[in-house]
Chain A
Amino acid sequence: MADHVAGDVAGQSAADSAPVHVERATKASRIFAVLAAVVLAALISLPWWGDIGWMRLIAEMAYYVALAQLWNLLAGYAGLVSVGQQAYVGLGGYMLFYLTGVWNVNVYLALLLAGPFAGLMSIPVSFAVFRLRGAYFAIGTWVVSEVFSLFASLILVLGAGSGLSLTVPILQEISPDRDVRGTMLYLMTLTMSLFVFAIVYLLLRSRHGLALTAIRDSEPASASLGVNTFRTKFIIYVATAACTGLIGGLIFLQKLRISPEAGFSINDWTVVVIFMVVIGGIGTLEGPFIGMLVYIALREFLADYGTYYLILLGLLAIAIMLKAPMGIWGWVIHRYDLQLFPVGRRLKLESADDASKR
């Protein structure tokens, strides 16, 4: 029926037109997919050939890239520049410690519940912060996170100011063997990171991604074309919070201790993540990966220089923002039109012969 209507507006040409072809992949993306699969296989097999130090580093990279993808989805697509995502990292972490420590819930189940819990908590938060725009929204989200942090430091069952530790029996639920446990945690983190990336990627490839990309480029125009901008942003906010909560649970499962300062740390869970996304390229799927690699590389190479390392990091951020405001990958897209994770839809044009017949 809708096709019939389409014919009405498009006119007589609809009747004789050949089926329309749309491409969703590019040559570069197909080559890259093979490469990515090889890297992934290498990472999965790491426990059998790498040491625990490597596994720790890669696990950290994995959860940081997941946090970066989520923040990019929020800020780079939905236009929700939150500096309060640490709220959900902390909530997820605390939920894990509380459920396992106080209620003796199985550690895996507790981890699975941490995500939905953070998502649930984000709903009332959204009612408050969605009334704010731009910079006010950013500050509002930060304030909310500080409120959570203060609450955590007041509640005795959460260990108040000193926080909570994971006990040995809880860890033994994962595995009594320390090495096996390390491997398990590594693989869990890798899986989670892959899961988060898959969600973000599939979402952006779907029609909802089309709406999100439109909102990113012009909110009024997307509303005038039928996109429910409020609902889209709300769903993204809640889904992002849930995934962030899950990551928070996993992060603190590896750290074994949580405190209000560590759980709700704006520096560790938001500032660093913003650095990665902005340097790598906001509003692109490739950007968070690049930014994470840049950050980790700088940190590993410059760790011995103490404060100078932070100064250098700041200078680099300023330099990139001045020279390539769209970030490293944003610059690549502008220059080479290269997409490794294509989310677009490319219309296969009819040949010039066909077109001239009209």
Chain B
Amino acid sequence: MAALLQLQAVSKHYGALKAVDDVNVAVAAGEALAVIGPNGAGKTTLFNLITGDSAPTRGRIEYGGLDVTAMPPHARSRLGIGRSYQIPHPFANMSVFENLLVGAIFGGGASERESYKRCSEVLKITGLYDKANLPARTLTLLQRKRLEMARALAMQPKLLLLDEIAGGLTEYECAELVKTIKEIHGRGTTIVWIEHIVHALVSVASRLIVMDFGQVLAEGDPHEVMANPRVREVYMGIPVS
């Protein structure tokens, strides 16, 4: 499969801090990739580099065969890169429905008419339909995380970057979310998912990357990677005896 997204020797340094350090990752079209790592490992920074929210210190980012390294975020999203933010950024004073319209019309290039229909459908699959006309500021944290995903979905992204959207969910809610993500992935959307809840990740992703101190520590089949002693030490704090 051709790589949809390719990071070549990408680094992001903040002064002496190497938030992301010489990372090489390729994501195939249609793949579901999971990213784990302790807090501060550089996972969210990696997303910011992919979306253009921040510019890499070094390296090159290719998406769909294009060099997007210097492309501004809005242009990347129009090419099909959608994201959810770890800390939700709802358009607080707009309704949930209007939040989605922004994604459908600007990122997704839909006409206003099309966008109404599209967003109404996305609201249904993400379970926000009955909240459609409420201002986003009235949503709970969990609903806000759903909104993050729904908004990105309204763009009909080719690549969906999910940043810790399952954190804080109950077991049942988490299973529901996994079901939704599987469904989205099943329709051909490429997914990169950062999460701490490993069993949720493993049920969707076919490949797992572990990050630590800005670098890729391990990469491969989720079960094999999780069995790796160094990963266990770094990630779970289990010392290798």
* A355 part of interface (Cβ distance < 8 Å): yes
Taken residue by residue from 1 to 33, chain A's Cβ proximity to chain B (1 for < 8 Å, 0 otherwise) reads as: 011011011110110010110100000000000
Cβ of A347 under 8 Å from chain B: yes
Chain A residues whose C-beta falls within 8 Å of the C-beta of B52 in the assembled complex: 223
- Tell me whether B53 and A220 are in contact (CB under 8 A): yes
Is B206 an interface residue when CB atoms closer than 8 A count as contact? no
Select the residue from B108, B109, B111 with max chain A CB neighbours within 10 A.
Answer: B108
B118 touches A6 (CB 8 A): yes
Most chain B Cβ neighbours within 10 Å, of A3, A10, A229: A10
Q: CB-CB < 8 A to A210: which residues of B?
A: 94, 98, 101-102, 105
Tell me if B74 and A9 are in contact (CB < 8 A). Answer: no
- Bound CA–CA A11/B110 (angstroms): 17
The 8 Å CB contact of A222, one of B95, B102, B153, B184, is: B102
Contact call B91/A345, Cβ cutoff below 8 A: no
Please measure, in the bound complex, the distance between the C-alpha atom of A13 and the C-alpha atom of B102, giving whole angstroms. 22
Instruction: Give the docked Cα–Cα distance between A345 and B116 (Å).
Output: 9
Looking across the interface, which residue of chain A has its beta carbon closest to that of B121?
A: A10
Stretch at the interface among B57-65, B126-134, B220-228: B126-134
A5 and B156 contacting across the interface, CB-CB below 8 Å: yes
The answer to whether the Cβ of B78 comes within 8 Å of any Cβ in the partner chain is yes
Q: What is the bound-complex CA distance between A345 and B114, given in angstroms? A: 14
- Stretch in A97-105, A150-158, A168-176, A211-219 touching the partner: A211-219
Q: How many residues of A contact B (CB 8 A)?
A: 41
CA distance A13 to B132 in the complex (A): 18
How far is A226 from B83 in the complex, measured between Cα atoms in Å?
11
CB contact under 8 A between A225 and B106, given known A217-B91, A345-B98, A347-B132: yes
Q: How far is the CA of A10 from the CA of B124 in the complex (A)?
A: 8
* Residues of B in contact, count (CB < 8 Å): 58
Contacting pair B124 A226 (CB below 8 A): no
- Decide: A224 and B83 in contact? CB cutoff 8 A: yes
Contacts of B214 in A (CB 8 A): none
Q: Are A226 and B90 closer than 8 Å at their CB atoms?
A: no
Q: Are B90 and A218 in contact (CB under 8 A)?
A: yes
Kindly state the separation between the CA atoms of A226 and B94 in the bound complex, as whole angstroms: 17
Closest to A10 in B: B121
C-alpha spacing A232/B72, complex, angstroms? 14
Of residues 204 through 257 on chain A, the ones whose CB sits less than 8 Å from some CB of chain B are 207, 210-211, 213-214, 216-218, 220-230
Inter-subunit contact A217/B90 (CB<8 Å): yes
> By CB atoms of chain A within 10 A, which of B101, B102, B123, B133 has the most?
B102
Which among B75, B117, B124, B153 has the greatest number of chain A C-beta atoms within 10 A?
A: B117
Does B32 sit at the interface, judged by CB under 8 A? no
Q: Name the A residues within 8 Å of B85 (CB-CB).
A: 220-221, 224
B77, closest chain A residue (CB): A226
Q: Is A178 in the interface zone, CB < 8 Å from B?
A: no
Interface residue? B70 (CB, 8 A): no
Q: Which residue of A lies closest to B118 (CB)?
A: A6
> For residue A223, which residues in chain B have a CB less than 8 angstroms away from its CB?
52-53, 72-74, 77
Docked complex Cα distance between A111 and B155 (Å): 44
A20 to B118 alpha-carbon distance, docked (Å): 9
- Are the C-beta atoms of B94 and A349 separated by less than 8 Å? no
Closest to B136 in A: A217
A sample of 9 more A-B contacts (CB under 8 A), given A10-B125, A222-B102, is A11-B187, A20-B116, A210-B98, A213-B94, A223-B72, A226-B105, A227-B107, A346-B95, A347-B133
Residues of B within 8 A of A (CB): 51-53, 72-75, 77-78, 82-83, 85, 89-95, 97-99, 101-103, 105-112, 114, 116-125, 129-130, 132-133, 151-153, 155-156, 183-184, 187-189
Name the 3 nearest CB pairs between A and B, nearest first: A226-B107, A10-B121, A226-B106
